[in-house]
Structure formats: structure tokens, C-alpha cells
Amino acid sequence: MQEAGPATVVPVEATVEATLPKNIGILQPAALAVVRPIFKFLWSFDVEGIENIPDEGSAVVCANHLSAIDSFVLPAVLPRGLTYVGKAEYLDDWKTAKLFPALGMIPIDRRGGDHAQVALAAARNVLEGGGLFGIYPEGTRSRSGKLHRGHTGAARLAVETGSPIIPVGLIGTLGIQPPDQSMPNFFRRATVKIGEPVDVERYRDRIGDRTLYRELIDEVMFEIQALCGQEYDDSYATSKKQPPRADAPEKINVDVEVVEEGPTIPRKSSSDILKPRPLALVG
């Protein structure tokens, strides 16, 4: 294992033509320059498989998710900038409403379905522009400590854009910041295992095939499980019900927690801030 050192930001060719929502990632280059050395000082990260991150071109980075700090660890150790999705509820808090999108978070409406389509389009633009897009296939943090069944949004994005899927196993981040703990524990060690890319080019003629998306994300979850070593639970992290039958049609979402019922609370959603702007990726 190697300890992660300062990462070199890989420049993007000027010919990239794509769009990202207004203000998404606008502060990421400056933030990474500050965050990376701070993280290296506060925690020790053993990074395996860094060579599996392509120097250029698009990829969907899929990781297990146990701790709130996961979304900061990955950008801190990767050699390229990473745009990722996060729950739209972050827009309700003045402390994170502007900051998280500026750092590279695409807010997503966790009701799923049509509510998440704006975020899905933004993610597609990231990939079509040659960037790295990060997503947690489980859709939310695992509270059980087990690795749960993956949603198919990541597979759908990968096949539609021809982007490889890179499985990642995060180990030890739960010890850095346990659930519901506002401040992380300092001077702990964590491991980031980056697996070999899953090539999707052979599936490009099956765009729209939901059975394919299910098979592909199951393959990715198997790879993640091999990397992180978590026990696998073949049920969704957001559902107490049994998983649907393999032959049943599956509603494709974007890896978000679906809230079917509940009080209507006025708040911002993805579409409130996702306005096109020229894409400026860090790597």
C-alpha cells in the first residue's frame, strides 16, 4: 500500500465542450489545493490502485458509502477533480447551500424519478465533457454497516455515455466520522482501494435495456464488495422491503433515497440552481 501524497491536477483540453449547472465546481480547484494537504496532515490514507484512474477521459466512480466524510476523502486522494451528487437538502442549510455546489456537488432531489432528471442531465454533461463523476450506487449511507444493493443510475449513465465504471472500496472512514457525529476524529487511518475499470463499450448497443443496467450494477457492487470487504445485503439501503424479483421491471432512478410519502416542505431542489454554464473541470 502507498500513502497518498499531493495529487497533481490533470489539466483539461481546451476543446472540451459541455455544460455544467451554474456555480457547480467553481471553487473546486482552489479548494482541492487547500484540502489535500490538510487531509494528509489530519489523516493517513493508504491508496491502492491509483493507476486505475485514467489520466484523461470520462469515468463513473462508484464507491461504498458509510460516512459523511466519504465525499471529501475521494476528491482529496484522487489525482483529478471529481464532480458528484449530493442530497438537495444541503441547499436548505445556509452553511452548505452555496459551499457544497461550489465544491463540485450536483444537488439531487431524493424523491427520484422525474424529480432527479435535471441532476441526471448535469451528470451526463460531466461525462460527455470528459470528466470524472462520482456516485454512491447504494443511494445513501449504509446504517447497517453492510454493502447494500445498488441502484441502476450509475450503470445507465455509463452505458449511455460510454464511460467506464471504476469501483472503489472505502475502508476506515467510519472510524474517522461515525454516523450523526458532527466533527470527525483526527489522526485516524483509512484505506481507499480503486479497482480496475469495468468497460461498458460492449453494451452500447443495449442502451435502454433495464435488465442490462441491473446486471451491470450488480457486477459493480460485487467488485466494490471485493475491495471493501463489507458483508453484502441484497436489499436497498433505503427500503425495509424485500428486493423486487429479478424478472420484474425496475424503475430506473439516479441512486437516490426515494421518499414516497411525507409532509410537503418548501425547499430548494436540484432544478432551482441547475442552470447551464461552460464546463470547467479540474481534471
The pLDDT value given to residue 272: 40
CA–CA gap between residue 14 and residue 16 (Å, rounded): 6
Q: How many CB atoms lie within 10 A of CB 96?
A: 16
Q: In this structure, what C-alpha cell is assigned to residue 102?
A: 461550489
Does a structural domain hold residue 235? yes
Coil, helix or strand for 173?
helix
- The confidence score (pLDDT) of residue 1 equals 52
**Is there a contact between 255 and 153 (Cβ–Cβ < 8 Å)?**
yes
CATH code for the domain of 246: 3.40.1130.10
What is the identity of the amino acid at 195?
A: G
Q: Which residues contact 23 (CB under 8 A, 6 or more apart)?
A: 98, 101, 102, 273, 277
Map residue 84 onto helix, strand or coil.
strand
Residue 72 lies in a domain: yes
Residue 45 counted as domain residue: yes
Residue 47 lies in a domain: yes
- Residue 279 in any domain: the answer is no
Q: Tell me the pLDDT of the chain (283 aa) as tens digits.
A: 545 444 443 333 322 334 455 667 788 888 888 888 999 999 999 999 999 999 999 999 999 999 999 988 998 999 999 988 776 666 667 666 676 777 777 776 656 555 567 777 888 989 999 999 999 999 899 999 999 999 999 999 999 999 999 999 999 999 999 998 999 999 999 999 999 999 999 999 999 999 999 999 999 999 999 999 999 999 999 755 444 444 444 443 444 333 333 333 333 333 343 433 333 343 4
Residue 180: its pLDDT value, please? 86
Instruction: Give the residues across from 87 on adjacent strands.
Output: 108
Residue 280 domain-assigned (yes or no):
no
CA pair distance 142, 237, nearest whole angstrom: 6
For residue 278 the three cell numbers come to 461552460
Residue 150 domain-assigned (yes or no): yes
**Residue 198 is placed in which grid cell?**
469495468
Question: Which residues contact residue 245 at a Cβ distance below 8 angstroms, ignoring those fewer than 6 apart?
Answer: none
Q: Cell match 460510454: residue?
A: 162
Sign of CA dihedral 277, 278, 282, 283: positive
Query: Within its chain, how far is the Cα of 245 from the centroid?
Result: 26
Closest CA to 283 of 19, 25, 36: 25
Question: Is 77 domain-assigned?
Answer: yes
C-alpha cell at 17: 465542450
> 92 with 268: CB under 8 angstroms?
yes
Please give the residue range of the domain that contains residue 191: 24-178+185-262
Tell me the sheet residues that pair with 278.
Answer: 19
Q: Note the pLDDT of residue 17.
A: 34
Bridge-based pairing of strands 165-171 and 189-194 is antiparallel
Predicted confidence at residue 29, as pLDDT, reads 87
Nearest CA to 140 among 76, 228, 274, 235?
Answer: 235
Domains contained in the chain, number: 1
Q: For residue 194, which of 216, 217, 227 has the smallest C-alpha distance?
A: 227
What CA–CA distance (Å, rounded) separates 146 from 212? 24
